[in-house]
Amino acid sequence: MPAPTTSTRPASGSELELTIDTLAHGGNGVARSDGYVVFVSGALPGDRVRAVVTKSKRQYGEARTIEVLEPSPDRIEPVADHPGAPWQVLAYDRQLEIKQQQVHEALTRIGRLEGFELEPIVPAVQQWRYRNKFEYSFGTSESGELVCGFHAAGSFDRIEPVTDCKLASERNNAVREQVVAWCREQNLSAWDRRTQTGLLRNLVIREGQRTDQVQVRLVTSKGDLDADSLVAAVDCDGLFWTQIEQLGETTQGGETKKLSGASKLEEMLGDLRFRVSPEAFFQTNTVMAEKLYGVAVEYAQLRGHERVYDLYCGIGTIALTMATRARQVIGVEIIEPAVANAIENARLNEVLNARFYAGDIRLAMRDLVTEVGKPDVCVIDPPRSGLSQKVVRRIIEAAPGRIVYVSCNPTTLAPNAAQLVEAGYELKRVRPVDMFPQTPHIECVALLEKQSVSPQ
């Protein structure tokens, strides 16, 4: 028997010279130091780097690149100093190749799935300035000046200011700078994440890329501000102020007040018009959302007689996209305001064969099947954590002939697909869609079909 391999575990805070072999899901480089696996942020396959160890666990370590000693042949010059675009140093064709590979690896290694067709990834139409929504954070510079931007890598309290975010439109950038200028004129303080004092927390800007509308929401602690002068200072179509009491940093919850303009932003997806409340979820890349939903429609293979369940339906984007091709569409969503948006969007688009329900799928699915009947097709667009085992069981009980799974995380798609395959479904096709260029995030659509039972 060969002797077991041993590895030397480096201490946290130590510096290592490492050669990066591959990229892990999530975008960190993977290297080995005397047999010990280290996940390295800011590194690409082929890089030789000097990195500082930030976590030292028994099975693996985590490290941060502090110097690239020998760059990878795939490494290119960055376009901007932007923590939200870590893959901009990787040529775009190579980004697509790696995302395609990672979807395949997740399905085959994590899900142990085989026999499916992995179709070519759909590339992004725009590689820059593609996002329609940003959540900026306020902070204070070392000189004491109010800044607005993004959290520095690995820091919960240090905010890196941004003046021209290359993932945002020029108008988004201009509106952000209007708000920041007003805040400085008013001498307002940023929320201090260590002492948990101060007023300004976040700034949320959403843009209708098809309608040219802009929605702005200022998120603060409890306090006072001159709302009238803020309205005068900011050029937007809807302005909101959210006051939050909880200590953790979040843009959700709290008490939101409309200061001016429309209560909802309007946006188009294909021929459909949607109204989006300030806190509602909407895909952050409008152009590629149309591509993504196009794949979902293609995989659903609707002929006009089907009953479609859209689980985690949000404000109804997928459900309403499919409604014209189906007999009936049923949307289910646990967030009640999103369901209200979905119902309004169905009326706005004069869609009469879509119904929306607020409820937890784990608890509501059986009653729903009893009330409206079993689905022919289930479309699932879950959060990054994927489906719980109980939700998978409810879907299996409903026994749709076809399942279209829209995933923003192939590492959670894989075990869910494996559970469905074990229950008698076959994974037929998977197509990645690049919704987020310059980042490691991967979106894909999977088609599973119920296998027919052969007669005995």
Backbone angles phi, psi at 204, to 5 degrees: -110, 120
> By C-alpha distance, which of 326, 331, 207 is closest to 267?
207
The residue ranges of DSSP E strands in 119-247, in sequence order, are 133-140, 146-151, 159-161, 200-207, 214-221, 238-244
Cα–Cα dist 65/414, whole Å = 30
Q: Give the active site residue among 148, 183, 378, 408.
A: 408
Give the CA distances from residue 289 to residues 144, 150, 203, 386, in Å, rounded to whole numbers and listed in that order.
40, 24, 24, 19
The phi-psi region of residue 95 (left if phi > 0; otherwise alpha if psi is between -120 and 50; otherwise beta) is alpha
**379-413 as b/e: b if 16+ CB within 10 A:** bbbbeeebbeeebbebbbebebebbbbbbbbbbbb
Indicate the SS3 state at residue 8: coil
Q: Residue 142 and residue 139: Cα distance in Å, rounded? A: 10
Active site residue 378: no
Q: Running DSSP on this structure, what letter comes out for residue 34?
A: T
Instruction: Enumerate the active-site residues.
Output: 408
